[in-house]
A and B are shown apart, each in its own frame.
Chain A
Amino acid sequence: QKEVEQDPGPLSVPEGAIVSLNCTYSNSAFQYFMWYRQYSRKGPELLMYTYSSGNKEDGRFTAQVDKSSKYISLFIRDSQPSDSATYLCATDFNFNKFYFGSGTKLNVKP
């Protein structure tokens, strides 16, 4: 069983839609949860990170962690064509060794 499972998509939505991206993880000891965005031919760019359960909001992005169900979500409001990228979830015990999902490819159509 992989440490982190993520639906690869692709996910195609119209501009302005609310996007929901999700991951599940296997180890209840994971404490840190990250979302990275990766454009083609670029490295992952940190979007948000949270510690333990709860919500965190940053502009149009909201990260949500439910440790009871081992579920990680990223919501994007008012999606833009510039949001088109691959989104990677990651988790870790202590920011030393990240476990990544396989990434979800998002396409926001104008």
Chain B
Amino acid sequence: EIVLTQSPATLSLSPGERATLSCRASQSVSIYLAWYQHRPGQAPRLLIHDASNRATGIPARFSGSGSGTDFTLTISSLEPEDFAVYYCQHRGNWPLTFGGGTKVEIK
């Protein structure tokens, strides 16, 4: 099983600041990594797929990078609605697994 480790667990930032979230895989997943946003009480939402491709309707302030075992999600300038939990997920092989999540909270 591929283990995805996200860091930091919590990121305390102010609106307008840049957020950088990390996801590290225990073995290579090539580019087969996605990022999801999860606001409390809402459906999780696909943000980035295949490491760097924004999903339909996702604002340009969200960007993803990386390949192999190290991946980054960057939010260039935080909007109030961006404060949420973010998960990475791979589809390299079975079973599909998620990272433990990074909570982006208002400082």
Is B one of A's binding partners? Answer: no
